[in-house]
């Protein structure tokens, strides 16, 4: 069942705004994932198996060794997964 209602619409809009905001893609991705988890916890959005898989992929893209910065391929992978999540919102 799709997540509907004003809270779901607001959560999707906030997510899309976050992923298109200026700044470093990795930091934006971390913030977007955190906000998305908060929307799930608040009941604004419903988890789906597809969204869970995408968030797991995003976690891998954002994993880093202590003291090392992420960029390049991690940022590209994060942007790719975030766009996929945004598209999933239209189906879920």
Q: Do the Cβ atoms of 50 and 88 come closer than 8 Å? A: yes
Query: What are the 10-residue block averages of pLDDT along the chain, 92 residues in total?
Result: 81 92 86 93 91 90 61 77 89 66
User: Residue 50 and residue 85: Cα distance in Å, rounded?
Assistant: 9
Question: Read out DSSP for 81-92?
Answer: HHHHHHHHHHH-
Q: Specify the pLDDT at position 92.
A: 59
Q: Specify the pLDDT at position 2.
A: 53
Q: In this structure, is the dihedral angle defined by the CA atoms of residues 4, 7, 13 and 16, taken in order, positive or negative?
A: negative
Q: Specify the pLDDT at position 15.
A: 93
């Amino acid at each position: 069942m799709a997540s509907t209602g004003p809270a779901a619409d607001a959560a999707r809009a906030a997510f899309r705004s976050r992923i298109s905001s200026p700044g470093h893609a990795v930091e934006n991705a971390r913030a977007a994932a955190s906000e998305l988890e908060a929307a799930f916890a608040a009941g604004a959005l419903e988890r789906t198996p597809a969204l869970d898989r995408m968030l797991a992929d995003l976690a891998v893209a954002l994993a880093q060794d202590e003291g090392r910065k992420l960029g390049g391929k991690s940022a590209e992978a994060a942007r790719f997964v975030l766009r996929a999540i945004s598209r999933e919102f239209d189906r879920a």
